Amino acid sequence: MSNTTTSEFSGWRAYLWPIHHHELRKLLPMLLVLFLITFDYNILRTMKDTLVVATGKASGAEVIPFIKLWVMFPGSIALTFLFTWLSNRFSRERVFYVMMTLFLSYFVFFVLVLYPWRHILHPHEFADSLQGVLPLGMRGFISMIRNWSFTTFYVMSELWGNIVLFLLFWGFANQITQIGEAKRFYAILGIATNISGIIAGGIAVQISKTGLLSYIPYGSQPWDKQILILVSLVVVCGALAMIIFRWMHSHVLDEETGETVADSKGEVKGRMSMRENFKYLFNSRYLICIAIIAITYNVVINLVEVLWKYQVHTLYPDPSDYNLYMNRVMMVIGLFATVTSFGITGNLIRRAGWTFTAMLTPIILLLTSIAFFGSFFYKEYLGDFSHLTFGIAPLTLVVFFGTLQNCLSRGAKYTIYDATKEMAFVPLSQECKIKGKAAIDGVCIRMGKSGGSAIHQVLLLTFASLSLSAPYVAGFLLVVVAVWMGSVSSLGKQFNALTSSEDEPEPLDEAAPQPEVEPVLQG
């Protein structure tokens, strides 16, 4: 069955809900699974930052670049290898259950063993000895080792986004969604992501304010008890996501054919390996452009966020206050993203085109980053202005502009970046989707974050502080954004060429014997 174009929807429905009744059977379970996974992602995102920045002994934002380069990047490679190994032996459905169980088991282990016993498990004496011999710029590295259990939580929480959200869920969504459906479905899926952020932030804020925390027999501080509640929510929502995922396979996908289940010509040929995945990537200009976009986005986000979190921690040194502020920021991001995406993202793609829509994200990040760095560099001269105009200290003004940058950039990610990036995979064959996506979402995204972390580390070792290295961070950011915009332009031309001839083009066949051949539509 071919998808009906949006011209069949009239009035507001064409903007807000361009979905046929028979498509709800597939879309609604996808919405629920995505909501639960992103709810966990948002809860974990604020928790991991609070643990490594504000909870551990001698902690601070300087630890983030070291974790992302020395632990996160190897961890992402290891889990991507595991995903590849499992994919060679089991169905995609079983791989989903195994990977989800791995993550949820770790979070249970953390809250029952690692966190309660952290004072015994953390090597504070060894870390103190390192502090006496290593240079000042290595404080983040020492903190990473000192609070190693928090480091593992940070890594597993961050990889939840890369592995569970992008590799497992979006890989599954791309596999069962046609290009015509994607133009209508993905904007609505983005709304589920945004609403989950609002709800997750609201719940976390209410938990921090409740007077019932003192009755929970776990830990001694309010933040300890919040950790128990939040991790329990993560585990419950993860289990519900697996139940709905199973229901969808047994009641929707197994009962339908054609557009809902990948057919034989889209199956993966041969056994997957990381070498084969990257061979697919490097031999396709189309996939290389997607990889560059993924890498550059994460470099830019990482460059700015470390400085912003450093300023937030200076303003809110207590972990409960820090976590409360970050959850409020998450709620604002969700509200902004929901308002802007509801009826806008999908229509932008359909009416203005993929290239224009995808180009909005780097433009937004560039403009908001200029505002943040401007306030950061000139905060010493803004004292009288900020006091007289806003009645706040210069540090608060810098945090405000950093928060504004984070809200707008994250909002752009959830409404525009994710939808356009995932849509770029849809015209590809099933083999190319799985192998290319495994390389890009499993490793390239982490390369981007590790690349930003490497820049921060070199600058920290040179200048010993984030404040002194900030001008050079801004310079790197401008160069990376320029590369990002060039890749969007190139990919947009290829995407339009592949999707303009038909409303629903056939999958691309990139499994040809000659790997240097660019993707072409199957005839």
- List the one residue out of 139, 137, 118, 131 whose CA is nearest residue 56: 118
89 has a pLDDT exceeding 60: yes
- Asked if residue 308 has pLDDT above 60, the reply is yes
Q: Is 390 helix (H, G, I), strand (E, B) or coil?
A: coil
* Cα torsion 347, 348, 351, 354: sign: negative
In sequence order, what are the beta bridge partners of 521? Answer: 508
Whole-Å CA distances, 253 to 25, 155, 173, 258, 259 = 10, 33, 12, 10, 10
CA 61 to chain centre: 19
Q: What is the pLDDT of residues 392-430, one digit of tens each?
A: 778 888 899 999 998 888 888 877 888 888 888 888 877
pTM, to two decimals: 0.79
| pLDDT value of residue 117 | 96
Of 119, 144, 116, the closest CA to residue 131 belongs to: 144
**H-state helical runs in 160-221:** 171-176, 179-209
Q: Distance between CA atoms of 426 and 277, rounded to whole angstroms?
A: 17
**Is the pLDDT at 388 greater than 80, yes or no?**
no
Average pLDDT (127-146) is: 91
Q: How confident is the model at residue 80 (pLDDT cuts 50, 70, 90)?
A: confident
pLDDT at 369 over 90: yes
- Give the model's confidence band at 270: pLDDT under 50 very low, under 70 low, under 90 confident, else very high: low
pLDDT for 360 equals 92
State mean pLDDT over 141-167. 94
Q: Report the pLDDT value the prediction gives residue 506, as an integer from 0 to 100.
A: 40
Q: Indicate the SS3 state at residue 521.
A: strand
CB burial string 287-317: b at 16+ within 10 A, e below: bbbbbbbbbbbbbbbbbbbbbbbbbbbeebe
What is 86-147 written as a DSSP string?
Answer: HHTTS-HHHHHHHHHHHHHHHHHHIIIIITTTHHHHS-HHHHHHHHHHS-GGGHHHHHHHHT
Query: Which tens digits make up the pLDDT trace of 43-67?
Result: 999 999 999 998 888 888 889 999 9
116-125, 129-138, 339-348: lowest mean pLDDT where? 339-348
pLDDT over 50 (residue 322): yes
Fold of 23-263+276-499: Growth Hormone; Chain: A; (1.20.1250)
Is pLDDT of 446 > 80?
no
Please report which confidence band the pLDDT of residue 71 belongs to, taking 50, 70 and 90 as the band edges. Answer: very high
Whether 19 has a pLDDT exceeding 80, the answer reads no
Domain regions of the chain by residue span:
23-263+276-499
